[in-house]
Amino acid sequence: MSYERHNIESMSGYVPGEQPTAADVIKLNTNENPYPASAAVAEALAAIRVEDLRRYPSPTAQRFRQLAAAYHGLDSDNIIPTNGGDELLRLAITTFAGPGEVVGIAEPSYSLYPV
């Protein structure tokens, strides 16, 4: 027995697009960065304590939300951390729209899910 809504259960999974291997190709259509990470990213990764990786992070991401809010001059309640744009779109649609409800979509649409 499945508890998912029928329209969610019947969706097919995401299939990533072509990954070209030629050095002179820069792919811009999938939110992937064609350039290497900066030295600052490498430094931040080197500072991670391995023992901190054995547990799930805070489900509310409170520390991240506070730091991001302070950086951008916002209230932390206005920061919604997600695992990418796909999750944010899913959260918004499943939170505010149910089966049979109408959702306005701007053109061009987001290509992950046909709407």
The residue that leads in pLDDT, 32 or 67, is 67
pTM for this prediction: 0.51
The per-residue b/e assignment along 28-61, b for 16 or more CB within 10 angstroms, e otherwise, is eeeeeeeeeeeeeeeeeeeeeeeeeeeeeeeeeb
Domain residue extents for the chain: 21-96
Checking if the pLDDT of 37 tops 80, the result is yes
Computed over every residue of the chain, the mean pLDDT equals 83
**pLDDT reading at 60 higher than 80:** yes
